[in-house]
Amino acid sequence: MPVSDLLPELMVLIGAAAIVVSASFLPHRLHWLCAVAAIAVLLASSVVVCLRWNDPAQLTFSGIWALDGGAGFAKLVIFGSAIAASALSPQWMATDRRHGEYYGLLLFVALGAVMMAAAADTMELIIGVLLSSVTSYALVGYHRQWSPAQEAAMKYFLIGALANALLVVGVVLLFGLTGATGYRELSAGLAANPDPWVVTVAFVFILVGLAFKLGATPVHMWVPDVAQAAPAPVAALVTIITKVGAAVALARFTLLLPENIAWPWAIALMATVTMIWGNLAALWQTNLRRLLGWSAVSQSGYALMAIVVIGVVDQALAALLVFLASYAVANLAAFSAVVYLRGRTDLSDYRGLARQRPWTAAVIILALLSFLGLPPLVGFFGKFLLFSVVIEGGYAWLAVVAVINTVVSLFYYLRVIAVLVLPREHQHSADMGWAAGTTMIVTGLLVLALGLGANGLIELARVLLAPYHPVP
């Protein structure tokens, strides 16, 4: 059990613990140093991941932890998102007496998402889901005196309690059938054709448990509430990294399943309903943060498309990760603008922003058009790869559904853009300061830069992940 195999995760864990302890002794005026420490830890962990980029895929720690391209790519997206959220937080959380502890929780959430993405054992998967869930609940309700935040945290907790319980029951059923929790042993046990009805029930329970972290139907109702009422940096982070971790975990798990339970059709149905529900609900929103939450639900439906063909098309996981990376950058850009504008939520507050703050409006527009999939922004290439792999995998009808939903989403994205360019009489001068502004500009430029350099990103993912096997 080489401890060095877990060096990035151990750095995050030790860093989180050190930040929590340090926050107990630092005076409140110096709690911003905890943000600097969190960013330093995440940067160092990302560097370690990059240094091991070309290492051969393997299972470590007695086969329960995967060191492969899928896990490595997911770690970079998760750590990068956590860095952006940490940079957005100091001014937002400046008046909170527990400001320093907040960054420890951010690191724990990131660690839980990484555990989901790298787990090669169902028990390890459960630990990652629970670590991510428990810390997310606390972060969503961090503004204890604001009732909408408490309501969002409670809804998040109650839905999570049900979904996580179903996940555990599904894992127990699989253990009862095969006597194993490791993916390598589970793959061999399921190949022996155990009772298909029990396997089906176990799969449905596990699918629901991971759909909760994805923000997919039928356990998606927490997403718009969290996007609207949680601290804005937390909303940006939670709607990204739990989606990334759960998507990679589900892709890794489905590759173990036998074909006789027709699991691709179940995921295709979930993807369809998630896309439709998220887009239709977003049409009526007059709150930008809630609209971004419903958009996040619809993006989960798109992500599920790649998982439908994960065992059929070699490039399916590469398409999934490129799409998740494109979504992460655009979502961070949109929420960075919200943070920079001190958390404005109602669409009417954004009226005339293009004239008052053209750079901020430009970042929002770039993010929304990237969600839409407009070239040459990075979101276009993420969706293009998704459509390509599902068509290649024999699910052309799912690509048609996704295209129709993309057209529907055009209406509410353009409605926001129209509000931005409409004239307004009075000016808004307050903003959240240089840290949030810099993060907003950087993420906005990344939406454009990664789109212009998408060929390199796509080729990197393809080389790294093809052919991809869950059990080296």
Cα separation of 61 and 215, whole Å? 30
The answer to the question of residue 186 being in a domain is: yes
Residue 471 within any structural domain of the chain: no
Q: pLDDT tens, position by position, for the chain (472 residues)? A: 688 889 999 999 999 999 999 998 888 888 889 999 999 999 999 999 988 887 887 888 888 898 888 888 899 999 999 999 999 999 888 888 888 899 999 999 999 999 999 999 999 999 999 999 999 999 999 988 888 999 999 999 999 999 999 999 999 999 998 888 889 889 888 888 778 889 999 999 999 999 999 999 899 999 999 999 999 999 999 999 999 999 999 999 998 888 778 889 999 999 999 999 999 999 989 999 999 999 999 999 999 999 999 888 888 888 899 999 999 999 999 999 999 988 778 888 888 888 888 899 999 999 999 999 888 888 998 898 899 999 999 999 999 999 999 999 999 999 999 999 887 655 555 677 788 889 999 999 999 988 887 676 666 666 555 444 444 3
The CA angle 58-126-207, to the nearest 5 degrees, is 95
Residue 366 falls inside a structural domain: yes
Q: Are 180 and 202 in contact (CB under 8 A)?
A: no
Establish if 470 belongs to a structural domain: no
Quick check: is 472 in a domain?
A: no
- How far is residue 447's CA from residue 439's CA, in Å, rounded to a whole number? 12
Residue 463: what pLDDT? 58
Letter for the amino acid at 202?
Answer: A
Nearest-angstrom CA–CA distance, 28 and 99: 8
Closest by Cα among 97, 118, 93, 1 to 38: 93
Structural domain contains residue 359: yes
How many whole angstroms separate alpha carbon 398 and alpha carbon 268? 7
Which tokens is 56 given?
A: 């051969």
How many domains does the chain fold into? 1
Per the domain annotation, does 263 fall within a domain?
yes
Burial level of 325, CB count in 10 A (0-12/13-18/19+)? buried
Does 301 map to a domain?
yes
* Residue in 165, 186, 164 with CA at minimum distance from that of residue 177: 186
Vertex 74 angle, CA 293 and 272, to 5°: 45
Q: What phi-psi label fits residue 358: left (phi over 0), alpha (psi between -120 and 50 degrees) or beta?
A: alpha
* Count of beta carbons in the 10 Å neighbourhood of residue 411: 11
**Burial status of residue 407 (CB atoms within 10 A of its CB: 0-12, 13-18, 19 or more):** exposed
> What's this model's pTM, rounded to 2 decimal places?
0.94
What is each CA distance from 369 to 38, 148, 334, 409, 410, in whole angstroms?
A: 31, 29, 11, 10, 9
**What pLDDT was estimated at residue 472?**
39
Q: Which domain holds residue 46?
A: 3-465
